[in-house]
Amino acid sequence: MLGCSDSRVAPGTICGLPPGSLFVHRNIANLVNNVDVAAMSVIQYAVGILQVQHIVVCGHYDCGGINAAVRNDDHPSPLANWLRNIRDVYRMHREELSSIQDQEVRARRLVEINVIEQAINLYKTRIVQQRRIETYQNLEEHGFVQPKIHPCVYDPATGKLVRLDARA
């Protein structure tokens, strides 16, 4: 699972799984950034060594990282550099997001869009592409192309986990 650092979003709890059931990497706003050595190492180990079959990219509503990026607060580096990734997601979807008048609804939509963009970033990593090609070439053994990536958003207010649509 790739999730947010926010303590309200405990991966095992929101998935209803006991300790030790998930391999987890967390960072601010659940970003998949190819220059993040920690994230890329976790992904490489999970996909290449553990050969996980499913990866959940889980964001959450009322995300502080998303809110900080949207407010355009002046943060010193390295946080400013990190938030730039979220601002890029906003910029790529500016037309849709700008058409949403209610700021809370807009922020919730940005959380969803960010999760989808991070799932796409995960699909684009070398190790995920390589593993998907390997499993595609041997579907009889694996049953399906692996790993499958599941973009989700957790709502801390309701406790609900919602799966988003992002196909690749």
Any idea which residues carry the catalytic annotation? 4, 6, 8, 60, 63
Alpha-carbon distances of 69 from 44, 81, 89, rounded to whole Å? 28, 10, 10
60 secondary structure, DSSP code:
E
Q: What angle do CA 115, 120, 121 make, to 5 degrees?
A: 95
Binding-site residues for Zn(2+), please? 4, 6, 60, 63
- Cβ neighbour number for residue 141 with a 10 Å cutoff: 8
- Cβ neighbour number for residue 33 with a 10 Å cutoff: 15
Rg (CA), the chain: 16
